[in-house]
Structure 1
Amino acid sequence: MMRKCVLVTGATGLIGTALIDALIDQGYTVHGLSRGEQQHRSSAVRFFQWDTDSGKVDERCLNGVQAIIHLAGENIGAQPWSKHRKQAIYDSHVQSIRLLYRLLENREHAVNTVVSAGATGYYSHRGDELMTEDKLPANDFLGRLCLAWEQAVAEGRRLGLRTVSLRSGAVLATAGGMYPKLVKFIKTGLGAVPGTGRQWMPWVHIDDAVALYLFAMEHNGIHGVYNMVAPQQIQLKPLLYAIGNHLDKRIWLPHIPAFVLKAVLGQMSELLLSSTRVSADKIQNAGFRFTYPEINQAIASL
């Protein structure tokens, strides 16, 4: 019996790397898309190259593929948001999936499902209001970006594809992302709370993020948009203190005022100062069960 094949874009990123390992464990073969040449220790994985800037992609990446998991896109928080940087972020998230759809339009294929990354930046700063998937997007850079990203993914429906977008909170993992940076600062005694600390911080453990992509891919009843956040909603100050407690380190420095963050980071300071309280009810009602629903469980595992 031929094993199912999944195409993963952004395959060498934080989630992509963990996801490929999980797919192999589940008996899938994997095609990965990457900008540069890559190799994997497993014979079940084969990499292909693409360049979203020039619109080039190795068409062989779709041979035998039944599902696409789309994780590609520039890191939103990696650099300050200049006009040029904003355009690069937009193109990498929106145009990359359209490049694949153009490829699907012009050849025979077996793809029936597309599961894409998304972001809770769709909601941006909403104070204490609980964000469910039916809320309107924020009218700022992140809100407009995430809306365009989801709309581009949904264009696959006209090709007869089942499409899913997962609005992810901060992914907590030891291999990258926000968590190791927070641990480093707290361990060295430089831990401080940005802004008031009362801003809600949506989060999800890396293992649950990977499991959610598999769940969305494997369940045909899942379609449209779902929040990818842990059920326990937590504010930034308690989150930092929880990490400090597990490290047996006190956070003693004063809060960093919002105006200081804005002066240093510019508009990108929104990532730290926005309060986004996000509901996990929809995906739980669809049958998904979190391994790490609470922050202390998640930090202890990390």
Structure 2
Amino acid sequence: MIKKVLITGATGLIGSELVAQCHLEGIVVNYLTTSKEKIENTENYKGFYWNPSEGEIDEKAFNGVEAIINLVGATISERWTEKYKQVILNSRIESMKLIYETLKKIDHNVVHFISASGIGIYPDSKTKLYTEEDDAIGDNFLAKVVVAWEAAAVKFKDLGMEVSKVRTGMVLARNDGALPQLVKPIKYGVGAPLGSGEQWQSWIHIEDIAGIYLFLLKNQLEGKYNAVAPNPVQNKRMTKMIAAKLNNPLWLPNIPAFVLKLVLGEMAVLVLEGQLVSSHKIEELGYHFKYYNLENALQDLL
């Protein structure tokens, strides 16, 4: 059983929930942060400074650590200018490269490297159900990022570690991530399905995404895993379900794709495209979802 883990991105949306779940299991957490103000030092939660763009890292972060969970990466929900696209890519690749180069030169006990990834690697489709066995890769910027992200993770096998890649869907949480953005227009009475509304949203509740990381960690499982709830829904269904929960009827027609492209630019693929993704592999291995249906998830979060 892993007793001590190093988490990058520990203060972010998924990281905060994962830290809480690790502590419930008695797992000690070290974390890396780029903000010296966010460094804490308690018995089971210790922060260490790093600056991946400058190649700077506190090697003491690895003391006694048996596994690394890598969640770091700049948000993809900011306009994709050419400059920001580089930030999205570098924030994922440079950070892993720094960890890799550091582990190569120090004595350590790390046996398992678990990295965030994304279902954005799969092509947009309204009919195909994607499993981890599918090799098809999307042709947009997001898919390119995921390919590079996973390639950087796989390198850790060269250091004799087991490597896991967690292909994450749309994470639903109360105060952060996608859900507040979906709720806001509906609350103000201007909510509507996006584009055709038929694009799939393979979502996951915040407790389940952290739960999957913990499950992989505790069972030392390697390989690719889709981290999505068992029941994806189409965008129009999700929009209607949120509106019903908030008791705010939808009256506007669908927002046309060309309007979203004008407003969001290249980033519009995040709302106009979608993938129908299977959670069968992780369930077969014994992970039990706490939030199986969107109804239950929204009941909890709204």
Give the TM-score normalised by the residue count of structure 2.
Answer: 0.96
The 5 Å alignment of 1:1-302 reads 4-37=3-36, 38-40=38-40, 43-77=43-77, 79-135=78-134, 136-220=136-220, 222-302=221-301
Give the conservation status (yes or no) of the 8 Å contact 2:2–2:218.
Answer: no
The answer as to whether partners of 1:198 and 1:237 remain within 8 angstroms in 2 is yes
Shift of 1:29: 1.1
Query: Once the 2 structures are TM-superposed, how far is the Cα of residue 173 of structure 1 from its aligned partner?
Result: 0.4
- Asked if the contact 1:171/1:204 (under 8 Å) is kept, the reply is yes
Moved more, 36-45 or 283-292: 36-45
CA displacement at 1:127 relative to structure 2: 2.6
CA separation of 1:3/1:154 partners in 2, compared to 1, >3 Å: closer, same or farther? Answer: closer
3-state SS of paired residue (1:53): helix
User: 2:28·2:45 contact (CA, 8 Å) conserved in 1?
Assistant: yes
Instruction: Give the Cα separation in 2 of the matches to 1:199 and 1:271.
Output: 10
Compared with structure 1, are the counterparts of its residues 105 and 127 closer, same or farther at alpha carbon in structure 2 (3 Å cutoff)? same
Q: Distance in 1 between matches of 2:138 and 2:10?
A: 29
Structure 2 segments unaligned to the other structure (5+ residues): none
- The answer to whether the Cα contact below 8 Å between 1:14 and 1:175 also exists between their aligned partners in 2 is no
Name the Cα RMSD after superposition.
Answer: 1.5
1:39 deviates by 4.1
Unmatched 5+ residue regions in structure 1?
none
Q: Distance in 1 between matches of 2:117 and 2:147?
A: 9
1:41 CA displacement: 8.4
CA distance change for structure 1 residues 178 and 41 in 2, over 3 Å: closer, same or farther?
farther
8 Å CA contact 2:39–2:49 kept in 1: the answer is no
Q: Which amino acid aligns with 1:261?
A: L
**Cα drift, residue 114 of structure 1:** 1.0
Determine if contact 1:124/1:142 at 8 Å carries over to the other structure: no
Are residues 42 and 235 of structure 1, via their aligned partners in 2, closer, same or farther at CA, if it must alter by over 3 Å? farther
* Whole-Å separation in 1 of the counterparts to 2:62 and 2:224: 24
1:93 Cα offset (Å): 1.1
